[in-house]
Chain A
Amino acid sequence: MTSYRLESGGLIDRQSRLSFTFDGKRMLGFAGDSLASALLANGCQLVGRSFKYHRPRGILTAGAAEPNALMTIGQGGRTEPNTRATMQELYQGLEAASQNRWPSLDFDIGSFNSLLSPFLGAGFYYKTFMWPAAFWEKVYEPFIRKAAGLGKASYEKDPDTYEKAWAHCDLLLIGAGPTGLAAALTAGRSGARVILVDEQSMIGGSLLSDTARIGEASATDFVLTAKAELESLSNVTILTRTTAFGWYDGNVFGAVERVQKHVAIPNAKAPVERLWRIVAKQALLATGAEERPLVFGGNDIPGVMMATAMRSYLNRYGVAPGRQVAIFTTNDSGYALALDLEARGIVPVAIVDSRAGGNPAYTGKARIVKGAVVSDAKGGKALSSIVILKDGRTENLKVDALAMSGGFSPVIHLACHRGGKPVWSDAEAAFLAPQQLNGLQIAGAALSTGNGIAACLSEGAAKAAVLVSEMGFACTAASFGAVEGDMSARPEKPLWSVPGVKGKAFVDYQNDVTRKDLGLAVREGYGHVELAKRYTTSGMATDQGKLSNINAIGLLAEARGISPGDVGTTTFRPFYTPVSFGALAGAYHGTHFQPVRKSPLHEWAKKTGAVFVETGLWYRSSWFPRDGESTWRESVDREVLNIRKNAGLCDVSMLGKIEICGKDSAEFLNRVYSNAFLKLPVGKARYGLMLREDGMIYDDGTTSRLSDEHFFMTTTTAYAAGVMNHLEFCAQALWPDLDVRLASSTDQWAQMAIAGPKARTTLEKIVEEDISNAAFPFLAAKEVSLCGGQLHGRLFRISFSGELAFELAVPAGFGESIADALMEAGREHGIQPYGVEALGVLRIEKGHVTHNEINGTVVPGDLGFGKMVSQAKPDFIGKAMVGREGLVSADRPQLVGVLPLDPKTSFRSGSHILAKGAAATLENDQGYITSSAYSPHVGSTIGLALVKSGSTRHGEEVLVWNGLREEFTPARLCNPVFVDQANEKLHV
């Protein structure tokens, strides 16, 4: 016989039928069912195969700790593997599939592993797959990976949305069982802001599965009354389907709300999951207790179930586990189940009680076998019989379901997330939460497993009253009527080793760790709890040993002859149960994770035909292909030659721009740059070098003085944010006495470079002021009127290309029209747009450095900027350390140019420099190419390099060596300036 649905009872809506499939087979359930209860109601007890031995497995629990009933839910991008059937609410059209079986759940080839089990014990992989070493990657690992593993994730994009939210409250209640409800009613009535979270679809916790009566009402009616009152209080927020998964610094709790995991097609306007960060003044942990399995032979056969889980299926879901039910218990929990079964007309065939005493309060009809154990359960895909061992004699009993209870462990995970260690209590026979936690208290069965419903109600109410009273709310503890019919279990002496076991006795169901494996770990010297965990993998599965850890610790303690308290626990860490990557990512994926930054000239570049390249977050125009050009090099060469002959326009808006104002701005710049800025005249720009305190160059750029107390700084694109942070640090933390204010204006200006011999004649058409060489010489900077005075912009005579060049900044919104006007103005002069590729070629030809050269290892002297390190200034960032011995030595890597001996040959950036005739070894390394490009001006590849003593080696023949591709290019070191070494073009 199998499990089945009872004629009546349960918190299910029998009018609302839901159809679903399991491994393609259509089944029916009711609204209010979990997937697990619906499967049991359909007589489906075999729901999965175990991880290592592929043993048939059934449903063990009715909650979050479920290790066996893991399924893949959903289709396509909504596929979710390893879903616990006990936590999945049933919905119309749900599609569930079993895992870790092939070809089918019923006939699984992998189950032959069971026959090999004598060889597959703990440490099997470590001992077996050791040699030959070469086999690991190609043979062993692919084999193991194929055989192991549970559900498979989908490669398809998740179509749903997720979000993150913050919440703040006076009192956070974790768990909405009797303790949490009493606390919520108490604190809620006082007006305190209360958040009540529970992982189930409805509040009530264990009361939903209980037959006790509270103040004349059934437990369920009590819950419904409490729910109505709490919902009427605007200061109380109830978050159901929400798992509080972690406790973090500052009394912040992480929780994940499964907003729409119980519907077939989620509403696209709402997230499917929401990640909460809850800031609580105080929190009360009311998470109850977890029942422990018993470790006897065949304790994993479908049909074996936790006693409280069986009560849940009976009372909450109206599902009976079988017709011939036995109960194996070490405490009173088994008797409570027996009474519930009898109320449903199922008299247990036996209650096997490990205690000689047993429960005097039990008045039922079941046969009680005291001082006995179930040593073995038998059956294949379904339980068929059990072996009872009493006083050395065995008795076989035919059963189709077996409930077990090995006592209870408080659920204290969250209380241990911030470093506190659980404390063993002999009286409780359990690990209890650490004492004196700041901001978190524990109540109910989570504090002591002996707390029954009445104790939970009064303790929850009392603790909540104290906590909110201390915050200043007028509060008295809520009181509830008498509790009747509660048979909560007192702590009893635990039973770790069941005597007489013949079959496989599982400790960790999900990772297939048996009692024997733990014994082996102790014998082989891995008895320490942390070592045993890793040696046997006990507690390392997705359930993190919620059921198994306590039994593993008990068995280790027994084997080592010490107390479980001396064995200790492994560390509790978030998350309490698995949290999806979707919830953790929230909305931050795709462009919300990496936003796209577009220049104000983006649309201009796009319509002008730019090919874009991503640089950091920016989209920059890299070149502007024309008809007939088939390679990017053709376009870039044309753009470069045209600038040197006519003119070009380039978008440089992404350079960092910082406005610096205040009386002490000049002094401030003098301290952050290595060269002098104090006396920079109004109307002038200057190239500046910014060092780090260790003397290395940090960034470079030009800064212009627009008025006495107003400077305009540009930074490199990559370091725009970093330089701003750095300047703010200098202004606020180092020299708060200086009167200086900083504002980033990168996004406020559209900035364009106009370069080439025809740049001035082009600009003159739209700039009102005289910009002749005499009136506006090299490095001039000033505000100008544009287009008949309709607009003002900033004009700078600076040049990155080495040509006569200007940079014009206009308010961002006018960028496109000014760029259009300049292109129109320059058309007769042959102006063309150019991109960052051409910009790169032009600057390499001119020997200008970028962060390819300023790579964090160079000092100004290395780049020929020795004169830009002021000797006269009393102080600036980097002054004290830039002169260190190692940074001024003659064999420093120094900037040089590199030219191939044969212009038809080339080399790549990153290649190393070897002295002529030297062997290609790293010992002979003389430096490396930092930048290279094909120069249409020179007619060959050219490069910049940092080479030992490079500045004194111009003319020397070297070998350029690319060790990755084994390329060798004979070349000559030279002056790093390939164009206009006398700088005449800048000054025309």
Chain B
Amino acid sequence: MASLIPCPHCGKRPKEEFTVKGAVLDRPAADATPNAWMDYVYLRDNPRGRYDEYWHHTSGCRRWLVITRDTATHEIEASRDAALARE
């Protein structure tokens, strides 16, 4: 039912405030190969364990976050603002 997501801006907040988008992937360059684009748009790993995902604090600060969580235990290891996570 309930779990809390740590937002780097707002602190721990109920997961109902967030929207999950999915895997954090590097967007290929416009001239990347069709295969690179197919992988980016359609291909997803389904790991058991550590996974980086984009989460949006939709009903909060409206920042996009990179959340590192364990898909088996649901433990959240890290949470960063998506803009800073790229640096």
Cross-interface CB contact of A880 among B12, B32, B58, B82, cutoff 8 Å: B32
Contact call A279/B4, Cβ cutoff below 8 A:
yes
* Complex Cα gap A734–B64 (Å): 10
| Complexed CA–CA distance, A534 and B84 (Å) | 52
Please indicate the chain B residues that have their CB under 8 angstroms from the CB of A728 in the complex: 56, 62-64
Residues of chain A within 8 A of B76, CB atoms compared: 250
Interface centre among B2, B56, B84 (most CB of A within 10 A): B2
Interface centre among A728, A733, A884 (most CB of B within 10 A): A733
Q: Which residues of A contact B27 (CB under 8 A)?
A: 734
Contact of B2 with A277 in the complex, beta carbons under 8 Å? yes
Whose C-beta in chain B lies nearest to the C-beta of A744? B62
Give Cα A725–Cα B56 distance, bound, in whole angstroms: 8
Given A725-B56, A732-B83, A874-B30; A250-B1 close (CB under 8 Å):
no
Judge whether A246 is part of the interface by a CB distance below 8 angstroms: yes
Chain A positions within 8 Å of B19 at CB level: 725
A252 touches B4 (CB 8 A): yes
A190 vs B84: C-alpha distance when bound (angstroms): 41
Give the complex CA separation of A694 and B29 in angstroms. 15
Instruction: Determine whether the beta carbon of A729 is less than 8 Å from that of B64.
Output: yes
Chain A 403-433 interface mask (CB, 8 Å, partner B; 1/0)? 0000000000000000000000000000000
* B84 contact set on A, CB distance < 8 A: 736
A880 neighbours in B (Cβ, 8 Å): 28, 30, 32, 34, 37
A879 at the interface (CB under 8 A from B): yes
A158-181 contact mask (Cβ, 8 Å, vs B): 1 or 0: 000000001000000000000000
**Which of A252, A694, A733, A734 makes the CB contact (< 8 A) with B3?**
A252
Neighbour of A729 across the interface among B40, B54, B86, CB < 8 A: B54
B63 contacts A249, C-beta separation under 8 Å:
no
Contact flags B8-30 to A (C-beta < 8 A → 1, else 0): 00001010000101000001111
Q: Report the bound CA distance from A137 to B81 in whole Å.
A: 55
**Chain B residues within 8 Å of A736, by CB:** 82-84, 86
Docked CA distance A472–B4 (Å): 24
Expressed in whole angstroms, the minimum distance between the Cβ of A47 and any Cβ of chain B is 33
Q: Are A875 and B30 in contact (CB under 8 A)?
A: yes
When the two chains form their complex, are residues B1 and A246 in contact, meaning their CB atoms are under 8 A apart?
A: yes
A279 to B74, CA, bound (A): 16
Q: Which A residues are CB-close (under 8 A) to B62? A: 728
**Closest Cβ–Cβ distance, residue B25 to chain A (whole Å):** 10
Q: Check B2–A248 contact: CB distance below 8 A.
A: yes
Interface residues on chain B, size class: 20 to 34
Judge whether A191 is part of the interface by a CB distance below 8 angstroms: no
Instruction: Indicate the member of A250, A252, A875 with the most B CB atoms within 10 Å.
Output: A250
Q: How far is the CB of A877 from chain B (nearest CB, A)?
A: 9
Whether A252 touches B63, Cβ cut-off 8 Å, given contacts A733-B83, A875-B30, A880-B30, is: no
- Size category of the binding interface on chain A: 20 to 34
How far apart are the CA atoms of A249 and B81 in the complex, in Å?
22
Q: Which residues of A contact B78 (CB under 8 A)?
A: none
Is A693 located at the chain interface by the 8 A CB criterion? yes
Q: What B residues does A248 contact at CB under 8 A?
A: 1-3
Bound: A884/B81 CA distance, A: 34
CA distance A694 to B34 in the complex (A): 11
Residues of B within 8 A of A565 (CB): none
A694 contacts B1, CB within 8 Å? Answer: no
A732, B28: Cβ atoms closer than 8 Å: no
Contact between A725 and B1 (Cβ–Cβ < 8 Å)? Answer: no
* Contact of A277 with B41 at beta-carbon distance under 8 Å, contacts A736-B82, A736-B83 already known: no
CA of A279 to CA of B19, assembled, Å: 21
State whether the Cβ of A574 lies closer than 8 Å to any Cβ in chain B: yes
Does A617 have its Cβ within 8 Å of any Cβ on chain B?
A: no
Interchain CA distance A248-B14 in the complex, whole Å:
12
Tell me if A482 counts as interface (CB < 8 A to partner B).
no
Contact partners of B81 in chain A: CB under 8 A: 732
- Cβ of A484 to closest chain B Cβ, rounded Å: 44
Query: Closest chain A residue to B30 by CB distance?
Result: A875
Contact call A693/B40, Cβ cutoff below 8 A? yes
Closest to A254 in B: B1
Complex contacts, B12 vs chain A, CB 8 Å: 279
Q: Mark B30-55, 1 if CB is under 8 A from A, else 0.
A: 10101001001110000000000010
Is A585 at the interface (CB under 8 A from chain B)? no
How many Å lie between the Cα of A879 and that of B54 in the bound state?
A: 22
| Chain B residues in 8 Å Cβ range of A254 | 1-2
Whose C-beta in chain B lies nearest to the C-beta of A693? B41
Interface status of A881 (Cβ within 8 A of chain B): yes
Kindly list chain A residues whose C-beta atoms are within 8 Å of the C-beta of B2. Answer: 248-250, 252, 254, 277
B-contact 0/1 string along A708-729, CB 8 Å cutoff: 0000000000000000010011
Q: How far is the CA of A881 from the CA of B33 in the complex (A)?
A: 11
Q: A736 to B83, alpha carbons, bound, how many Å?
A: 5
With a cutoff of 8 Å between Cβ atoms, the chain A residues found around residue B14 in the complex are 166, 277
> A253 CB to closest chain B CB, in angstroms?
9
Bound form: Cα–Cα A93–B53 in Å: 56
For B52-87 the 0/1 string (1 means CB < 8 A from A) is 001010100011100000000011100001111010
B residues near A574, Cβ cutoff 8 Å: 1
Q: How far is the CA of A250 from the CA of B56 in the complex (A)?
A: 19
| Chain A residues with CB under 8 A of B34 | 880, 884
- Closest chain A residue to B69, Cβ basis: A249
CB-CB under 8 A for A249 and B3, given A728-B62, A734-B27, A874-B30: yes
CA distance A810 to B36 in the complex (A): 47
> Can you list 26 residue pairs at the A/B interface with Cβ under 8 Å?
A248-B1, A248-B3, A250-B76, A252-B4, A254-B1, A254-B2, A277-B1, A277-B14, A279-B12, A693-B37, A694-B41, A694-B42, A725-B19, A725-B58, A728-B56, A728-B62, A728-B63, A728-B64, A729-B64, A732-B64, A732-B83, A736-B82, A736-B86, A874-B30, A880-B32, A880-B34
- Residues of A bordering B, CB below 8 Å: 166, 246, 248-250, 252, 254, 277, 279, 574, 693-694, 725, 728-729, 732-734, 736, 874-875, 879-881, 884
For the A-B complex with A252-B1, A875-B29, A880-B32 known, give 19 more contacts whose Cβ atoms are closer than 8 Å: A248-B2, A249-B3, A249-B74, A250-B3, A250-B4, A277-B2, A694-B42, A725-B19, A725-B58, A728-B64, A729-B54, A729-B82, A732-B64, A732-B82, A736-B83, A736-B86, A880-B30, A880-B37, A881-B37
Complex A-B, nearest 8 residue pairs according to Cβ-Cβ distance, in ascending order:
A736-B83, A249-B3, A875-B30, A733-B82, A250-B3, A252-B2, A249-B74, A732-B64
